[in-house]
Structure 1
Amino acid sequence: MSRLPFLSVVIPCWNEAGFVAAFLDSVLANDYPADRMEVLLVDGMSTDGTREIAAKYEAREPRLRVVDNPGHSKPVALNLGILESRGDVIIRLDVHAVYQKDYLRRCVQGLVAHPDADNVGGVRRAEPRDERLLSRAVSLANTHPLAAGNAKYRIGAAGPKWVDTVFGGCYRRAVFDRIGLFDERLDRTQDLEFNQRLRAAGGKILLIPDIVCTYYPRGDWKQFVTWTYNSAYWAFKGSRTVGRWIGSWRNCVPLGFVAGLAGAAVLGPHSKLVRRVAGTVLGTYGVLVVGSAGRIAAREREPRLLVVMPVVFFATHVSYGLGSAVGLLDPAGRRR
């Protein structure tokens, strides 16, 4: 343990009064050597009580330091934290999650044990924010291949695996010296862009599935749909802004689905062939969605999920597809 490198934990934060206390409790309870780590909470001048909660923790915890981030941009927060940090290893954490006691240590040990890895992360397990059925359904969809695609940090893996991205990420400091910081033009998906840039420069990203954190996805209907739409919008707008594709094939599937629905609606009334193809595709999609919902409902022993899960899956695909289309066509996404 005494040989572990000095670790800087960087946390972008803005108006997280409902989560920040439990989050800080989980981070500060980690078993990483206290004299070998610092925690930088980079706050975007929160107005909901987050700063007051953080100040109480800062007053009694010498490892914690609150850093001001006027404007509350997430990539700016990450860059401020990195520039303020002293660690040989830098890990990025999300406030909407809690972390197992060994999370920090195991991420760093993963880097030490795999000298060819530049970024190490684990699996993000999803739990509902409250007891409502919708919140439970959203959390279940969050880690299902029908909504998450092949994102291993969400659906899991049988063992350590080289991947295209991980949740958060534990980086060697040399990575930032080599390829630069997070792109501050990207309000969202800055992690996708950074990890794509890292891989393009020859870097490697390792998922270790035994490393686990618990994430609380947005369970309110409006928040869930808006978050899904914005995630897709920024994957495509961000790609246009930086002048290269930063996503994966899984980001394109909902766009194809929505484009197909739109094409069938326009051409279907004039073509029997289009109607047949559309009917076959939608029938297959319906069987897949209902079958997946049925298996989830049986596993969770909750019959109501058989009704709610197909709605959540369909809303995920449509809102992500629409966000992709707008991000692809939005004039504001032109490369700058």
Structure 2
Amino acid sequence: MGEHPRRRATDGPHRLAASFVIPVLNEERHIESAVRSVLDQRGLDEFEVIILAGRSTDGTDGILERLAAEDPRIRVIPNPRNAISIAMNLGITEARYPTVVRVDAHSVLPLDYAAGALRTLDATGAVNVGGRMRAEGISRFEKAVAWGYNSPAGLGGAIYHTGGQAGPAESAYLGVFRRDPVLAIGGFDEALSRGEDWEFNRRIARSGGVVWFDPELEVVYRPRPNLKALIRQFHASGRWRGELIRRLGTGMPLRYFVPPGLLVALVAGTALLVTAPFAQGAVLPWIWVAAGLSPFLVYGAWLLLTALRARESGAVRLRLLAVLPTMHLAWGAGCIAGIVRSPEGHNAYSGR
């Protein structure tokens, strides 16, 4: 990534300025809310909004054109290759200010998000600061998905999903980071279409930088609206996580191996149930049936108990019985596929 020819802005000792970078593709439902939440930020002396526009096929481009015409701080830059990692590198290269704020098109920033993050960067000396993704749904289905996002039962308990104490972290949701150290490590890995943020933060830490979790930074995230979209999203996410497992082997948190392990157990259980009638002897078939049923019974009991304990309405809890297995199994299937074969050519937005 090279330097943009425009003159770079520099921060004075008490001057808060940032470049917001937003990768976008087919986000007509959410992009305006995301951009408005950036424009409404308080406490910054200066900022710009860089939107990296993929080749959308819905009404996204028209919304971006209108927003850019309304506010000169917005720049829309084409991202014909669509990938998020490429979009981020383009945005970092184009950024005028020394601090970059990553924004997801599904997110809504609180009013003091950027100013608070910049102060945390200064106070901690970290390279990257992030907070908690607080998923919020509107429909009952979206509320069930949001519950899964916010609970260890859904996404495994990463601090940026469930919350925790301020301090160094393995990764950060979105991220507010210093531009120069990020350029020094080569930016985002453009060979990755998902999981690029985790790998990016891993390289920051390996280079001696600090990734910091700040629980005061809480960003609203809008989850997928239906089962089909959820399956596509989680399969794509799992597939790229499988690619990272292929690269790094056991250097990954244990939680990433749980969904593929669950899927393997259920497939093995199904195989035992199918072959049990052909087992020889009077006792052996029943052992096979018991062994085959066990992963279904254990997972089913855990699922039912989890849904019953959720502090949600009955309609949302009922939907959790479909949402949680969808999240786990779609992610697990994608992960196994990514381990077996590189997902090269499978774009991050395929799950949108």
Q: TM-score, length-normalised on structure 2?
A: 0.85
Cα shift at 1:288:
2.2
Q: Deviations over 1:118-148 (max 9, x none)?
A: 11111111111x42x3222112111111111
**Distance in 2 between residues matched to 1:219 and 1:56, nearest whole Å:** 25
Aligned match of 2:237: 231
Task: Say how many residue pairs are matched.
Answer: 325
Confirm whether residue 8 of structure 1 aligns to residue 19 of structure 2.
yes
Percentage of matched positions with identical amino acids: 30
SS for the counterpart of 1:10 is strand
1:109 aligned to which of 119, 137, 142: 119
Aligned match of 1:32: 43
Confirm whether residue 124 of structure 1 aligns to residue 130 of structure 2.
no
**Distance in 2 between residues matched to 1:52 and 1:235, nearest whole Å:** 33
Matches within 5 A, 1:170-185: 170-185=176-191
Cα shift at 1:103:
0.7
Confirm whether residue 167 of structure 1 aligns to residue 178 of structure 2.
no
- 1:245–1:56 CA distance, 2 compared to 1 (3 A): farther
Higher radius of gyration, 1 or 2: 2
Matches within 5 A, 1:13-162: 13-33=24-44, 35-115=45-125, 117-128=126-137, 130-131=138-139, 133-157=140-164, 159-162=165-168
Contact in 2 for aligned 1:10/1:93 (Cα 8 Å)? yes
Cα shift at 1:175:
2.1
- 1:51–1:174 CA distance, 2 compared to 1 (3 A): same
Taking only aligned residues, the RMSD between alpha carbons, in angstroms, comes to 2.4
SS for the counterpart of 2:216 is strand
Cα shift at 1:248:
2.5
Which residues of structure 1 form unaligned runs of 5+? Answer: none
Cα shift at 1:275:
5.0
**Distance in 1 between residues matched to 2:253 and 2:240, nearest whole Å:** 13
SS for the counterpart of 1:153 is helix
Q: Deviations over 1:80-135 (max 9, x none)?
A: 111111211111110111111001111111101101x211111111111x42x322
Aligned match of 2:218: 212
Q: Counterpart amino acid of 1:149?
A: G
**Distance in 2 between residues matched to 1:105 and 1:145, nearest whole Å:** 29
SS for the counterpart of 1:140 is helix
Contact in 1 for aligned 2:150/2:161 (Cα 8 Å)? yes
**Distance in 2 between residues matched to 1:304 and 1:245, nearest whole Å:** 39
Contact in 1 for aligned 2:151/2:157 (Cα 8 Å)? no
Cα shift at 1:327:
0.8
User: Which deviates the most, 212-221 or 285-294?
Assistant: 285-294
Contact in 2 for aligned 1:19/1:96 (Cα 8 Å)? yes
Cα shift at 1:280:
4.6
Cα shift at 1:198:
1.7
SS for the counterpart of 2:131 is strand
Aligned match of 1:324: 335
Contact in 1 for aligned 2:262/2:332 (Cα 8 Å)? yes
Confirm whether residue 266 of structure 1 aligns to residue 271 of structure 2.
yes
SS for the counterpart of 2:325 is helix
- 1:331–1:61 CA distance, 2 compared to 1 (3 A): closer
**Distance in 2 between residues matched to 1:332 and 1:56, nearest whole Å:** 36
SS for the counterpart of 1:169 is strand
Cα shift at 1:282:
3.9
Cα shift at 1:56:
2.3
Contact in 1 for aligned 2:102/2:174 (Cα 8 Å)? yes
Aligned match of 1:290: 304
- 1:168–1:245 CA distance, 2 compared to 1 (3 A): farther
SS for the counterpart of 1:203 is coil
Contact in 2 for aligned 1:6/1:37 (Cα 8 Å)? yes
- 1:265–1:41 CA distance, 2 compared to 1 (3 A): same
Contact in 1 for aligned 2:269/2:293 (Cα 8 Å)? no
- 1:82–1:194 CA distance, 2 compared to 1 (3 A): same
Contact in 1 for aligned 2:239/2:343 (Cα 8 Å)? no
- 1:274–1:164 CA distance, 2 compared to 1 (3 A): farther
**Distance in 1 between residues matched to 2:262 and 2:175, nearest whole Å:** 31
Aligned match of 1:186: 192
